[in-house]
Amino acid sequence: MWDDEEDNEPLDKWEQFFEDYESEYGKFDRIINKRHHRPDIHAFLLISEVLPEDKGKIIRDAEHDQFYLDGDPETFFKRATEEQVIELIRCGVGYEADLESFYMYP
């Protein structure tokens, strides 16, 4: 968990975090303890571990060349470590604050 001064921090902070670590995007080989040998499956498993109460399909929507992942990012950010968020980025996961959603490209 991250130590936040406020419980209701704007999610834009997380969008900035994803931008700050853009150089890590898709660098799956940098993940030491892989949950799976495929980056998308690794990301799905990580989200499921941090948000075990989410029981539906991991892909909740698709649009053009993106698909959006199920799970509440705000809850994920409150529970996850910084390293886990970086793992998502290394798996090719992005975050869109306007939609409050994680996304990936096929």
pLDDT in tens, 51-78: 999 888 999 999 989 999 998 999 999 9
Angle at 72 between CA 95 and CA 59, to 5 degrees: 70
Q: How many residues appear in the chain?
A: 106
Region 7-26: mean pLDDT is 82
pLDDT higher than 90, residue 98: no
| Nearest CA among 23, 7, 10, 21 for reference residue 79 | 7
What's the token pair of residue 25? 């995007």
Please report, to the nearest 10 degrees, the dihedral formed by the alpha carbons of residues 96, 101, 104, 106 taken in order. Answer: -120
pTM: 0.85
For the chain, what are the domain ranges?
12-104
| Nearest CA among 51, 29, 50 for reference residue 39 | 29
* Residues 79, 16 contacting (CB under 8 angstroms): no
